[in-house]
């Protein structure tokens, strides 16, 4: 099914309808946003032939393919999920001369004289590179750059659909930190932000830090910080439900990879006091509260992977919160009996959570997972589109800790206090308020901390959709 919305501009103004569809074709939500733009013809390419001819070949010969290739998932991915589209039509010599040579040379000269004009005269200010080395893809592990490409394409779609950002997959055939930093630094002039994705620990920490030190655009490893802000937001609301404060509870984080360490760091920044970290070796992160708090930015150096001081079961004794970013089925109902009253369990391992949902809802005061088919889905999709939208709008030079804390607070606030319950501690990824709220929080925090290069525009929409034709396809 293909739905197309084509809108002609009148006096530089258009009304754009966004419709997000779920798999059965029913609309999840509709929003109408008013935007302003210079008058230009609208391109309606609904009947356009596929740019990738393999899609056409697939349609004509599906009977000769293995059955696994003709299910809906493979059909959705066949030929790729993204493509480049122009914002206006080049259909005569005049439009060609303006969009390309010779007219484009004037724009090149202007940008050469004032590089800041690239944000206004090119797509740089609305473009994000999604960079991976394929070393830690989903729960699949080190599958390499080509096998990572379907994930990066999906992420690019989400950037575009949810936040109006043009995202470009860059899959690198190297896992050497020096090479990754060199390549990303070399391509950075064409982008307004860098999203590092599915790069394994510990080199992801080094790659992110070096790029943040080198570049003057925001760089974020989403597996770390996108996960951390959503976990913190959900925990703040879970604690409200149980009537406790962050500085009163003991938290066990199991799985000290990229996401686990980032969660520990942000929890400490938000005011967590009693924190224990476990990995497959056992309890490997402990310390006095003041030491952990002041050393949070160098937390990986405090983790004693080779010298555990206890087991996961020992770490759980008396704990109020378990945050799992490890492997499936490591918790049992007997383990939960070791925890304090009204245990909160975030079982976020993918695809199988640390505690199965049927046990979690039975034995926990609050249970959350990364699954979309259960309540309380903790998904970094709640964070990264709005975070980059806000950073691009403010032309931020980096993502900093106050910006991350602001995002967590904004997400938590989207669940009204009167609606909070054990089954509702975090908004849905389809809530149309998520991206604008997160973007506003990031932009404001960037300005408050002096890393924004662009002043707020009163009365202007935070997340303008720059396309005037919206194609929604359900394969």
Which of 205, 77, 207, 203 minimizes the C-alpha distance to 149?
77
What pLDDT is recorded for position 69?
A: 53
What pLDDT is recorded for position 170?
A: 98
- Residue 119 is among the residues annotated as catalytic for this protein: no
Identify whether the C-beta of residue 235 lies closer than 8 Å to the C-beta of residue 346.
yes
**Among residues 19, 29, 53, 100, which one is catalytic?**
100
Peptide bond into 280 cis (omega under 30): no
Report the percent of the chain where pLDDT is more than 70.
Answer: 81
> How far apart (Å, rounded) are the C-alpha atoms in residues 27 and 9?
25
Identify whether the C-beta of residue 223 lies closer than 8 Å to the C-beta of residue 135.
no
Angle between helices 203-214 and 177-187 (to 10 degrees): 30
Each residue's pLDDT tens digit, 236-273: 999 999 999 999 999 999 999 999 999 999 999 999 99
Each residue's pLDDT tens digit, 199-241: 998 899 999 999 999 999 999 999 999 999 999 999 999 999 9
Structure tokens at 222: 């989403």
> How far apart (Å, rounded) are the C-alpha atoms in residues 160 and 148?
19
Local confidence band at 138 (pLDDT 50, 70, 90 cut-offs)? confident
Least confident of 68-77, 206-215, 256-265, 335-344: 68-77
Give me the phi and psi of 18, to 5 degrees please: -105, 130
- Helix, strand, coil percentages (3-state) for the chain, rounded to 5, are 45, 15, 40
Apex 270 CA angle, 267 and 274, nearest 5: 55
What pLDDT is recorded for position 20?
A: 35
CA 279 to chain centre: 24
Give me the phi and psi of 460, to 5 degrees please: -95, 145
Local confidence band at 139 (pLDDT 50, 70, 90 cut-offs)? confident
Each residue's pLDDT tens digit, 173-197: 999 999 999 999 999 999 999 999 9
Which of 368, 328, 356 minimizes the C-alpha distance to 139?
328
Helices and strands counted in the chain (H then E): 17, 14
Burial 80-99, CB ≥16 within 10 A → b, else e = ebbeeeebeeeeeeeeeeee
29 pLDDT above the threshold of 60: no
Give the Cβ contact number of residue 321 at 10 Å: 26
Local confidence band at 14 (pLDDT 50, 70, 90 cut-offs)? very low
What pLDDT is recorded for position 466?
A: 34
- Residue 337 is among the residues annotated as catalytic for this protein: no
**Among residues 124, 155, 274, 367, which one is catalytic?**
155
Looking at per-residue confidence, does 362 or 351 come out higher? Answer: 362
Q: How far are the Cα atoms of 183, 239, 321 from residue 421, in angstroms, in the given order?
A: 47, 11, 16
Strand stretches in 187-281, DSSP E: 193-196, 219-221, 250-254, 274-279
């Amino acid at each position: 099914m293909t739905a197309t919305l084509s809108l002609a501009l009148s006096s530089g103004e258009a009304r754009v309808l966004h419709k997000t569809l779920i798999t059965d074709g029913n609309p999840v939500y509709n929003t109408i946003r008013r935007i302003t733009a210079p008058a230009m013809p609208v391109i309606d390419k609904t009947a356009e032939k596929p740019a990738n001819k393999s899609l056409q070949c697939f349609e004509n010969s599906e009977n000769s393919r293995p059955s696994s290739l003709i299910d809906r998932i493979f059909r959705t991915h066949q030929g790729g999920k993204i493509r480049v589209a122009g914002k206006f039509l080049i259909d005569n010599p005049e439009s060609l001369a303006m969009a390309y040579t010779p007219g484009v040379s004037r724009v090149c000269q202007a940008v050469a004289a004032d590089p800041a004009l690239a944000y206004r005269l090119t797509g740089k200010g609305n473009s994000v590179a999604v960079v991976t080395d394929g070393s830690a893809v989903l729960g699949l592990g080190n599958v390499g750059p080509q096998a990572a490409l379907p994930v990066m394409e999906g992420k690019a779609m989400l950037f575009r659909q949810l936040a109006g950002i043009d995202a470009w997959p860059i899959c690198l055939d190297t896992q050497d930190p020096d090479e990754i930093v060199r390549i990303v630094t070399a391509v950075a002039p064409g982008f307004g932000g860098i999203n590092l994705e599915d790069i394994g620990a510990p080199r992801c920490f080094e790659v992110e830090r070096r790029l943040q030190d080198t570049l003057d655009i925001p760089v974020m490893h989403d597996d770390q910080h996108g996960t951390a802000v959503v976990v913190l937001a959900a925990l703040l609301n879970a604690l409200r439900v149980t009537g406790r404060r962050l500085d009163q509870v003991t938290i066990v984080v199991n799985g000290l990879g990229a996401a686990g360490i980032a969660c520990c760091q942000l929890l400490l920044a938000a005011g967590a006091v009693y924190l224990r970290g476990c990995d497959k070796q056992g309890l490997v992160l402990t310390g006095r509260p003041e030491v952990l708090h002041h050393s949070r930015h160098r937390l990986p150096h405090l983790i004693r992977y080779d010298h555990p001081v206890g087991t996961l079961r020992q770490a759980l004794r008396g704990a109020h919160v378990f945050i799992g970013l490890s492997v499936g089925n490591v918790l049992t109902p007997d383990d939960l009996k070791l925890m304090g009253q009204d245990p909160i369990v975030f079982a976020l391992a993918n695809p199988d959570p640390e505690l199965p949902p049927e046990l979690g809802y039975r034995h926990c005061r609050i249970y959350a997972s990364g699954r979309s088919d259960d309540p309380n889905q903790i998904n970094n999709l709640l964070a990264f589109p709005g975070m980059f939208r806000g950073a691009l709008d403010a032309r931020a030079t980096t993502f900093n800790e106050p910006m991350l804390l602001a995002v967590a607070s904004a997400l938590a606030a989207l669940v009204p206090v009167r609606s909070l319950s054990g089954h509702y501690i975090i908004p849905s990824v389809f809530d149309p308020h998520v991206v604008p709220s997160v973007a506003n929080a990031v932009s404001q925090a960037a300005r408050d901390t002096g890393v924004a290069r662009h002043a707020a525009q009163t009365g202007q929409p935070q997340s303008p959709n720059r396309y005037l034709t919206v194609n929604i396809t359900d394969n």
